[in-house]
Structure 1
Amino acid sequence: MKKIILITVVFVSLMFTASCDDQLELSNPNALTTDQYWKTESDAQAGVNSIYAMFYKDGLWARWIYFRLDLTSDEGFSNSPWTELADWTRFNYINYNFWEGNVVTWRDTYKAIFRCNQVLANVPNISFQNEENKKQILAQAKFLRALHYYYAAVLWENIPVVLTPSLPNDLPEQKNVTEVWAQIEKDLNEAYADLPSTWASDQTGRPDKGAAKAFLAKVYMQQHKWADAKTALEYLISGPGAKYSLVSNYKDNFTDVNENNSESVFEIQFGDQRKGGTDESQSAAVSSNRAQFFAPRSIGWSDGQARFWLVNAFKQEKDKNNGIDIRLKHTLFYPGLLADFGDKVYGKDWQWGADEAWFRKGARDYYRSNEDYYNQVNYRLIRYADILLRYAEVLNETGNTAGAYQYVDQVRARVNMNTLAAAHPEIGNDHDKFLERLKTERVLELAGESVRWEDLKRWGDLDSQSSVDKISLRDPDFKNFKVGKNQRLPIPQVEVANNPNLKQHPEY
């Protein structure tokens, strides 16, 4: 059930204003001020719901963040005729104020954080009949603030950490990424304490304790805090939060047919019931535009494509029946799809170049012949297969390579692949060989799910010229990659110009 998306826009049309001039006492009868608002439990609930509405904005999970997380990685690229858009997946950052490539994601990130801070500043002063409800609202705001700071840290690294409602004349100080990680950890730990283990069915889409632990694991792993990550992941695998399991049908993770299933740890709830834009109106859409921008030619805009090396990666190893890894069918569109699996894309035959591929996850070819701006398929931000592979990585990093195999094998078994030891006996208990194979296992399971960029950063694959040169063999855009520079985005120059406490990254 997707009840949460039906109520997220109740709050967003409210105006929070502060007097700029005491001599002006004109008031807008249609606007609410902060003095008038934040009085009741319903105010608090509408306030936290407004944070979820930010998932549906252009700069975030409605559209442009996928260009940063998927297309900038070696999994994807852009061949868009809009040269500046494509250049921002080629590390050709000329105009740091390019809206679609940089500024809109920065703006919407801090807009989401502002909404979190409004809730955290004002809800404690509201009386509740049940204090647990208040705690859960505050915990959601902390979780969502951590989520948005997480992706901001992955993209820009050294950024302002704003923890109170912003005013127009604020000049927040820039923090080192280590301080950003620390704040995210704090928010997630505090959120975990007050989030429920499960929500009622009409509240599906809100984070629970498992989601908080999963994001904590991600934060710890990006910092190589392997022991802390291990503890967080064990909560989900063998501890009190061990309620997850892999669904039998891999495809069920990428359609609207079986959403919020046993594999889902946290997913963004999308819907197609409103056909508006991404503004703040009551008719604003709650949809994803990703499929429209990543669709094959003649289906959508085709501004984002997958690298063809992914197709070859799936074909390097046969399954137990000597067939092709079934995950390829559900991950990519490519010229051989019909021959390999008998699949007709969007019910039609399309002529593509021999080395072209597109991301399939989240597309709606299973019931329609084109895409639009109103894709209702939920986006699984974290699912249990990712958790299992992360746990295998952590075990390998903490000296238990032998114990890591079983968690990779669970993921492989779901799609009828042989055990890792049987398929790759050369790995043994060698840490480096296991990690190299795990990099491939994560691609086969998670390609096109917005984790590859953070993976490359965590593995240090962007830290040396030799490793970047290897990436460039499968993604020519990395020939433009400058080590020590392009592992993070430039800060929008307009932000730097307006805030003397904010410095552009020195390499830019």
Structure 2
Amino acid sequence: MKNTKIITAILSCMTFFSCSDFLEVEDLDQLTSTTVFVSETDLSYALNQLYTYLPIPNIDNNGNNTLGIVPYFWTDDAIHRGINNGAARQGSDYNWTTTNNVLDAFYRYDALADINYFLEALPNASFVNEDNRERFGAEARFFRAFLYEGMVLAYGDVPLVTEVIDADVYLSRTPRLEVFNFVIQELDEIANILPETYSAQNAGRITKGAALALKARAYLNALGWHSDPTSLYTGAADACKEIIDSGVYSLAPGIEGFSEQFTSASDLVSTETILANIYVPGTRTHELARNLAQKGSWRGSAASYGNNQSRAGYTADFIEEVQTINGLFPKDDVSYNPASPWENRDPRLAVSAVLPGDELPAKSSDSDIYVYQPHPNISPNTDNITGTSNPTGYSFKKYIDYTLDAMDQGDADYKIIRYSEVLLMYAEALAGIGDNAGALTYLDKVRERVGMPKYADIGLPNVSRGTTGNQMIDAILLERRYEFAGEGPQRWFDIWRYKLGDQVIGQVYGIPESTILPGDLVGPKYKADGDSYSRAWNDKFYLLPIHQNILDANPNIEQNPGW
């Protein structure tokens, strides 16, 4: 698997952060893997390419073997509809097979080959600033740990490859625990090398906080299979505490601060961004906003409206479990009004979802108003859920920007780990080791930021659907649903690590059939895409299948159980 693909990125002088002023013009015919990996400048360009292995801001895999928020659709909170191609459901229907490409997107040995090649070239390259050599290596090792952490969660045992190998070497799967321990050791070591912050020129690079936050994630994600949960909770707590005690990060205040995290206004300056995929003008953009926008809404003066009809929708299970401003589930709050269901709800709902009745800039002109109405029996209903549109009637909203010239040219950084996740991971870890008082403090910090009542004042919620058996942890997982809705794979992590699949995965429902009560909790609801999403859970799903192409290419790789 000797790999020189990364040279392409060097030739393009990736303007990812600071391509600086080191670029020298050379005859492209003379550039080879042995002539470009020789200087600090070469390695800086190659390192910038490694940042492209972070998750991308998209809801479609699109065959590029890089997942964005796609795993979010493998949960009870949301679903994906592939309108022009049934295979584009991104696994939402759980009709998974060993040839489903979207399930293969964590298996990243192409990227790992590039990272290992970089790390082997690093010691022999000439550096003007020797401090950069060590930091470059730590950044590259972070990406390797990031990829392996996802593979351990998704596939279990996977080959652990830490050096460049020949293409004819057929590896076997390394035990899951060994790979996990490697990830933790790597993150421990590089956390002591990476800086806590950077100058403006290098803002957005991997920090010590990112390494510690990934370590906390890794510890908690291992709960579903590791034999020593106490050590996992303790390790996560220690990592989160170090981040909190550093004083580097803080929550942006108010619901306004929360909302700003999904716009370009927060890019590189947000106090709560720990890890993000950075937008680079002229080089890196994304079409997330286009794939989320409603059919009847404005998509930019330069937009191409085309045939791309991919749509994402929140499930009724999620929408109906978002609390009222009183900290109660709608079904338990006597003040809840099904005729005006979006009033007096957790303020994050309005930031996270486009809801029936919302007024949006119209497709005809951004100065016109379009009322989003997915109900098939209420006109006008350009976004009728029974047609080629959102399958539930509850749409994603984060990262939609109606001021873009074209929504397929998104310019906001995609936030991968925010400080609120660290606070909630710390709360979860404390709860796991029995410190409920400490857990409550950090859980309430996240709630208080957006104006929700603290559980210290109103008491913990009684979660009955998808319970871990620990009321404090249930409350924390519920808060994670509200905080990260439509944003990333956090809900997928939670279901997998606490084995909640059989409790929460089933038929997907959308908006109520009632034409007068858009928040009807008891009447019939539309089934998302008819019976297409009558999902059935199987415990084999806790490990994704190894793609058949991999099994065919390497006789030493065995399939996961049940596949």
TM-score by length of 2: 0.74
Asked whether the equivalents of residues 315 and 325 of structure 1 are also in contact (C-alpha less than 8 Å), the reply is yes
Question: Residue by residue, what CA displacement relative to the aligned partner does 1:12-52 show, whole Å, maximum 9, x if unpaired?
Answer: 669xxxxxxxxxxxxx9726333323221112212211211
How big is the shift at 1:468?
A: 4.4
Q: How does 1:190-339 map to 2 (within 5 A)?
A: 190-224=189-223, 225-238=232-245, 241-248=246-253, 249-260=257-268, 261-274=270-283, 286-298=284-296, 301-318=309-326, 323-338=344-359
1:293–1:302 Cα contact (<8 Å) kept? yes
* Alignment correspondent of 2:493: 454
CA contact (8 A) 2:55 2:66 kept: no
Q: Extract unaligned runs of 5+ from structure 2.
A: 1-5, 14-26, 224-231, 300-307, 329-334, 336-342, 376-391, 463-467, 511-527
* Equivalent residue, structure 2, for 1:371: 407
Going from structure 1 to structure 2, the CA distance change for 1:31 and 1:493 (only over 3 Å counts) comes to farther
Whether the aligned pair in 2 keeps the contact of 1:294 and 1:301 (CA below 8 Å) is no
> How many correspondences in the alignment?
462
Equivalent position amino acid for 1:242 in 2: G
Separation (CA, whole Å) in 1 of partners of 2:11 and 2:99: 26
Aligned pair 1:434/2:434, yes or no?
Answer: no
| 8 Å Cα contact 1:288-1:375 kept in structure 2 | yes
TM superposition shift of 1:128: 2.5
Quickly say closer, same or farther: Cα 1:307–1:470, change in 2 above 3 A. closer
| Length-normalised TM-score, structure 1 | 0.82
Q: Which residue of 2 aligns with 1:89?
A: 92
Residue of 333, 344, 349 corresponding to 2:370: 349
Shift of 1:72: 1.4
Percent sequence identity is 24
Give the Cα separation in 1 of the matches to 2:324 and 2:532: 24
Q: Specify the alignment match of 1:163 in structure 2.
A: 162
Aligned residue for 1:46, secondary structure, equals: helix
Unaligned segments of structure 1, at least 5 residues: 1-6, 15-27, 275-285
Partner of 1:46: 45
Q: Which string of whole-angstrom CA distances, capped at 9 and with x for unpartnered residues, describes residues 319-377 of structure 1?
A: 79993222111101121434xxxx66885424432451121111113x248621x2111
Greater share of residues in helix = 1
- Name the residue aligned to 2:18: none
RMSD, matched Cα:
3.3
1:78 alignment partner, SS class = strand
1:444 has 2:479 as partner: no
Structure-1 residue corresponding to 2:540: 485
* Greater Cα shift, 309-318 or 116-125: 309-318
User: In the TM superposition, what is the alpha-carbon distance from 1:214 to its structure 2 partner?
Assistant: 0.5
Deviation at 1:272, TM superposition (A): 4.7
Deviates more, 1:468-477 or 1:199-208: 468-477
Contact 1:244 1:263 in 2 (8 A): yes
Q: Paired residue for 1:416?
A: 451
Q: Structure 1 residues 66 and 55 mapped into 2: Cα distance closer, same or farther (>3 Å)? A: closer
Q: Distance in 2 between matches of 1:234 and 1:498?
A: 44
Deviation at 1:488, TM superposition (A): 2.4
Which one is further off, 229-238 or 179-188?
Answer: 179-188
C-alpha distance after superposition, 1:47-103 (max 9, x if no partner): 211211334878599896236411112222122222122272211123x3344x234
Partner of 2:559: 504
Structure 1 distance, partners of 2:393, 2:294, is 9
Q: How far apart are 1:223 and its partner, in Å?
A: 2.1
Q: Which residue of 1 aligns with 2:399?
A: 362
Is the partner of 1:376 in helix, strand or coil?
coil
How far has the Cα of 1:256 moved from its partner? 0.5
Aligned-partner residue type, residue 247 of structure 1: A
Q: CA separation in 2, counterparts of 1:150 and 1:399? A: 26
CA distance 1:500–1:425, shift in 2 (3 Å):
closer
Residue 398 of structure 2 aligns with an amino acid whose one-letter code is K
Deviations 1:201-259 (A, max 9, x none): 11112111111100000111122401111110100112xx2311100221111000122
